[in-house]
Structure 1
Amino acid sequence: MSMSSETAQTANTPDADSTQFQPRSATRIITGRRSIRRFLPDDVPAETLRAILTDAARAPSGTNTQPWKVWSVTGAARNRVSQAVCAAALAGERFEEYPYMPSPLPEPYLSRKRQVGYALYELYGIARDDYPARTQAMLRNFEFFGAPVGLFFTMDRDLLHGSWLDCGMFMQNVMLLARDHGLETCPQQAWCEFGNVVHEAVGIPQSEILICGMAMGFADPDAPENKLVSDRIDLDEFATFLAT
């Protein structure tokens, strides 16, 4: 079993006299990142958000195409899209923007998905068969987990797989830069399950495909669900090193 981010950071932090690897700030930012599921209501300064997105745009993209687009919602706009999607979710009006995973999901991916789901419900204090409570927990996705800033990432619908890679690298930059500013995030593909509602509520043209949503704000340090640190498989399970 791989170490948690906190354990990994402690293990890699040497004494003052040690010559062992000393993590730089980027290492700590990356290994400490997690998906936050309860935020404080404190506003994020507009200039901070603009700085994060500006710097994130240094992400690489094929032939510098820079395909990413961002729709930021706060205040009334945030509440409007949240209410619209919550209503659609309760009514069962699901409309997937694109297929995210195969169905059925094969192993070992299914077990990993179930493991993190069960761990999260345990922190929420929700029994596996308590479906009303599970529904309420699901709806918190569409309240941005209380975060004051919601982000929607899109790109032109006619672009192909390479541009999806570019947008993913841009999103990762956003999440890491947010931490550098004392903020946290939660990437949320769940919004894409109600893509038509998001398009209408936010005003995103159909010529753009909704890739992902994201909650951003200040993490609630006392929320039990924010203690979740998902496991990572060992390096040798996913990496192959060839020398000849």
Structure 2
Amino acid sequence: MDFDEVVLGRRSIRGYKPDPVPQPLIEEILTIAMRAASSMNSQPWNFYVVTGEPLDRIRRGNTERMLAGVPQSREFRIGNAFENQHRDRQVGVAKQLFAAMGIARDDKEKRQDWVMRGFRQFDAPVCIIVTYDRALDGSDDAPFDCGAVANALVNAAWSRGLGTVINSQGIMQSPVVREHAGIAADQVIMKSIALGWPDEDFAANAVVSERRPVQEAAVFVGF
């Protein structure tokens, strides 16, 4: 695929085949992703790539703690709940996903199961946890740069037939993630990225989220 095909064709994948992903392929994807721009070439990112039993322990710990009502302990600040047009977009994609999956508004059981999928890393065979150096904590550049490398990562994966979804649910219980992924104390947990081979029979995988037109998002000056 050329660049435009990758960017325009990529979509978030929330249903995966159980097939393993070879480590050399993940290393290849990370090599491409790490060409992302960063502030003054600081390259603040690190990656903990988790699969197998350690990932299963993270899934169990996340879901058990969330169902038990343990408060979330996400390390990177969440900020305020979305409002206005941002909330509208959040609700809009949720409606698309629920419609694809046949989840009715009043079906609490299925809606709860959908939420739990996020805490299970969407049952993907691989989870990539993106962290940044704690020495940079408080800098706006470090999370900005991590966003850039995450975007490059998901596109590199897509170009090789792999699906991803960037999510926060999988890192909401940070003590669990730290323990089973062996994350160093000098790292701040930023995001998690589920990765694997897309299950084409999973209905939500066909959902393409809407994007604003350029005319709405961009202001051109001096043209």
TM-score by length of 2: 0.93
Report percent identity of matched pairs.
Answer: 33
* 1:82–1:142 contact (8 Å) kept in structure 2: yes
1:173 aligns with 2:152: yes
Equivalent positions of 1:105-116 (< 5 A) are 105-116=82-93
Shift of 1:88: 1.0
Larger RCO: 1 or 2 (CA < 8 Å, sep 6+): 2
Counterpart of 1:35? 12
For 2:164, what is the secondary structure of its paired residue? strand
Shift of 1:239: 0.3
Equivalent positions of 1:157-172 (< 5 A) are 157-159=134-136, 160-172=139-151
Q: How many residues align?
A: 220
Whichever residue aligns with residue 83 of structure 2, its letter is P
Counterpart of 1:14? none
* 1:97–1:196 contact (8 Å) kept in structure 2: no
- Cα distance in 2 for partners of 1:201, 1:88 equals 15
Shift of 1:146: 2.5
* 1:75–1:148 contact (8 Å) kept in structure 2: yes
Whichever residue aligns with residue 68 of structure 2, its letter is A
Equivalent positions of 1:77-156 (< 5 A) are 77-93=54-70, 94-103=72-81, 105-156=82-133
Shift of 1:98: 3.1
Q: Could you list the per-position Cα deviations for residues 80-135 of structure 1 after superposition, in whole angstroms to 9, with x for gaps in the alignment?
A: 111111111111212232332413x2211111111111221122211112222211
Q: Given the alignment, which residue of 18, 22, 26 partners 2:3?
A: 26
Whichever residue aligns with residue 80 of structure 2, its letter is P
Counterpart of 2:193? 214
- Cα distance in 1 for partners of 2:134, 2:84 equals 31
TM-score by length of 1: 0.85
Counterpart of 1:71? 48
* 1:98–1:192 contact (8 Å) kept in structure 2: no
- Measured on the aligned residues, the alpha-carbon RMSD in Å equals 1.5
* 2:62–2:120 contact (8 Å) kept in structure 1: no
What 5-or-longer segments of structure 1 have no aligned partner?
Answer: 1-23
1:242 aligns with 2:221: yes
Q: Which stretch shifts more, 149-158 or 90-99?
A: 90-99
Counterpart of 1:13? none
Larger radius of gyration: 1
- Cα distance in 1 for partners of 2:180, 2:95 equals 32
